């Protein structure tokens, strides 16, 4: 049994590093080939590096690593060793992949555009110049959608591997320690400032707007990659016909649940409540049949982002 567990853990660790490597490669490709040519900065040190690289030259990867390494050191000093080995590996993998793509594989030319790349602009035509001197007719919306999808899949894979994003998030974590403002609020503020830097640097209101759209799509894709397509619903059912509802859940839906004794707040009457978590399809079945079983039932339905335990995802060992 011990040998089987060792083999399983070894395979999981190898798979984690595969996810980490592929996710880092996708992130680098998304940044160099989709985000940077359009002068966008959807948060993070690489978003800020896109602005610096376009304004003052130099490689995106070099600007980013010059921020990431000090942030890791400062974060470890102030917050303690919260950043695991995989986060450090991811930091240097993204740096390496970005450097290779921008230096030898692709450069800074866009993948998606509405006009041919050329060395000089066409008079009277709205064009964008990459920081290596090429001009193109942009397709902002399609490029934004694709960039958000790539970023989301990439960061989702990095999260699945057990690494964290590090970078500008460390600034938010440090501020959180001293200000006690919620971490989510601080992340939004920090990334928002980075996003707005495109407006200050390039004077185009479209850039921060499209950058925010990238962040939104990215967030949805991260949830999809990390949590999967499965959507669960948690139902709290207060009913006087406990046995009939219980029988339907167990016999028809083949699911379990928990019965909780309670007392009504208004009249003080003893009531029974059922706590059950179901996938979306079974939730719809139960909700529809409750009208036939107990029309007076009170039901509260909530989204559940992650369910761990018997019948669902196994509890993590670490």
Residue 128 to residue 37: CA distance in whole angstroms: 8
Instruction: Name the strand (E) or helix (H) holding 280.
Output: helix 280-293
238 has which bridge partners? 273, 298
Domains of the chain, each with CATH number or no CATH: 2-227 (no CATH), 232-304 (3.30.70.120)
> According to the model, what pLDDT value does residue 35 have?
97
> According to the model, what pLDDT value does residue 71 have?
93
Residue 155 to residue 177: CA distance in whole angstroms: 25
> According to the model, what pLDDT value does residue 187 have?
83
CB-neighbour burial class of residue 170 (10 A; exposed 0-12, middle 13-18, buried 19+): buried
> According to the model, what pLDDT value does residue 2 have?
52
> According to the model, what pLDDT value does residue 313 have?
67
DSSP 277: E
Percent of the chain with pLDDT over 90: 59
In b/e form, how buried is each residue of 248-267, taking b as 16+ CB within 10 angstroms? bbeeebeeebeeeeeeeeee
* Cα dihedral: 264, 269, 275, 278 (round 10): -90
Residue 212 to residue 193: CA distance in whole angstroms: 11
Show the beta-strand stretches assigned E in the chain.
Answer: 128-129, 135-136, 232-239, 258-263, 270-279, 298-304
Any idea which residue has 């939730």 for tokens? 283
Residue 283 to residue 304: CA distance in whole angstroms: 12
> According to the model, what pLDDT value does residue 316 have?
65
Closest by CA to 207, choosing from 219, 194, 189, 195, is 195
Per-block average pLDDT, block size 10, for the chain (318 residues)? 63 92 97 97 95 96 96 89 85 97 96 92 88 93 97 93 82 86 82 94 95 94 80 89 93 91 81 89 89 91 78 65
> According to the model, what pLDDT value does residue 5 have?
59
In b/e form, how buried is each residue of 45-72, taking b as 16+ CB within 10 angstroms? bbbbbbbbbbeeeebbbebbbebbeebb
Residue 222 to residue 229: CA distance in whole angstroms: 11
> According to the model, what pLDDT value does residue 36 have?
97
């Amino acid at each position: 049994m011990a040998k089987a567990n060792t083999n399983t853990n070894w395979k999981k660790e190898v798979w984690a590093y595969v996810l980490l490597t592929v996710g880092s490669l996708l992130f680098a490709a998304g940044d160099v080939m989709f985000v940077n040519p359009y002068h966008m900065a959807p948060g993070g040190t690489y978003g800020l590096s896109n602005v610096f690289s376009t304004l003052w030259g130099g490689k995106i990867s070099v600007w980013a690593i010059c921020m990431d390494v000090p942030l890791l050191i400062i974060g470890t000093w102030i917050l303690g060793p919260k950043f695991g080995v995989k986060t450090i590996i991811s930091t240097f993998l993204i740096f390496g992949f970005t450097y290779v793509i921008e230096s030898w594989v692709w450069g800074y030319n866009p993948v998606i555009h509405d006009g041919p790349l050329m060395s000089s602009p066409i008079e009277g035509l709205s064009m964008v110049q990459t920081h290596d001197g090429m001009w193109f007719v942009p397709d902002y919306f399609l490029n934004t959608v694709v960039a958000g999808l790539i970023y989301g899949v990439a960061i989702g894979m990095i999260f699945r591997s057990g690494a964290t994003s590090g970078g500008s998030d460390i600034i938010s974590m440090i501020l959180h320690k001293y200000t006690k403002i919620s971490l989510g609020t601080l992340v939004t503020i920090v990334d928002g400032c980075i996003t707005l830097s495109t407006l200050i640097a390039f004077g185009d209101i479209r850039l921060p707007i499209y950058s925010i759209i990238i962040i939104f799509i990215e967030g949805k894709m991260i949830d999809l990659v990390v949590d999967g397509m499965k959507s669960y619903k948690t139902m709290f059912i207060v009913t006087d016909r406990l046995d009939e509802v219980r029988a339907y859940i167990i016999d028809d839906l083949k699911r379990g649940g928990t019965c909780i004794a309670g007392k009504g707040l208004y009249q003080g009457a003893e009531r029974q409540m059922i706590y059950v978590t179901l996938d979306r399809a079974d939730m719809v079945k139960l909700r529809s049949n409750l009208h036939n079983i107990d029309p007076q039932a009170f039901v509260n339905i909530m989204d559940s982002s992650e369910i761990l335990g018997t019948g669902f995802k196994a509890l993590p060992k670490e």
